[in-house]
Amino acid sequence: MIDVVSRFTVRRVLAAVLAAITGLTVAQAPAAAVSLTENIGTQAIIGTDGRYPVDPAAYPATATVLLTFSYYDHDGQWKAGRCTGWVSGHHDRSTTIITAGHCVYGAETGIWHSNYHVHGGGPNAIICPARVLYKAARWGGPPVPEYDYGAVKVDCRPSGQPLGQLTGAYGYSTNYIFAGTAVRTQGFPNDKQSTPWLQWAADGVVAPSTAQRLSYDNDTFFGQNGSPVYVPAVPGCGPCVTAINGNYPGPNLNVNYGVRITTEVHRDIRNWTSL
């Protein structure tokens, strides 16, 4: 009988073969992603469901993208997964998507996800294969919620243009994270997909938070891991991301949690975006 270590070793080899076939490569942040379950993402509707649909063809919805991939779960089953990501950067040449770390890498299995595609650009969906996956340096087993972030680099130029030129991009900042600050999050919750590609948003406020995890009372659901948590309009930053929506609960069940854009996270995003 093959033991667990051996099975995971075999899976790593298979993942490497898949990567060689598909051309997908993986990398670590300049500074070293949590494993998936079948239901991917935060599931917390706080009180009355306050989510509402947004026009997928209007910015910044165009810069909010659906991520689809294949992954091994902790039981060794090959499954299809989906998360949300957002195009990062202050310029229109961006080809970098920021998302949750477990949306690119399984910490429990040590295996990068495969068959990765980015779907963006509104109802006339742009579908781009991923070229490189990144994860935070400290994202691995055992998973640490504070480092549940990563990135996807796409290598597609629809109509000859970089992805960011067609979708626009979010700014991001270490500021605007004080309790009481109004924030919005949006993405592709699994329970709202009767209309394909329709995005759902929720407004809320920042709650008392820790140095590395932001808490907020916005409603989210499975499928929204990696969604931007942002201040809608900030001079010089635009829709300005202050956290990356995660899937780990905290001590307060009346809020959701995300990875705060700390100085370290800001540096990693800047480095990934510049590559």
Q: What is the pLDDT of residues 34-52, one digit of tens each?
A: 233 333 334 588 888 999 9
What CATH code is carried by the domain that includes residue 25?
2.40.10.120
Supply the pTM of this predicted model: 0.84
Residues of the domain holding 126: 4-274
pLDDT at 183 over 90: yes
Name, in order, each residue with C-beta under 8 angstroms of 16's C-beta and a sequence gap of 6 or more.
none
Confidence of residue 145 (pLDDT cuts 50, 70, 90): very high
Reduced to 3 states, what is the DSSP secondary structure of residue 34? coil
State which H helix or E strand residue 243 sits in: strand 238-245
Confidence of residue 209 (pLDDT cuts 50, 70, 90): very high
Q: What is the pLDDT of residues 92-111, one digit of tens each?
A: 567 899 999 999 999 888 99
**Of all residues in the chain, what percent carry a pLDDT higher than 90?**
54
pLDDT at 20 over 80: no
- Whose tokens are 């001079």? That residue is 235
Backbone angles phi and psi of 151, in degrees to 5:
-150, 160
Measured CA to CA, the distance from residue 2 to residue 24 in angstroms comes to 28
**Domains held by the chain: number:** 1
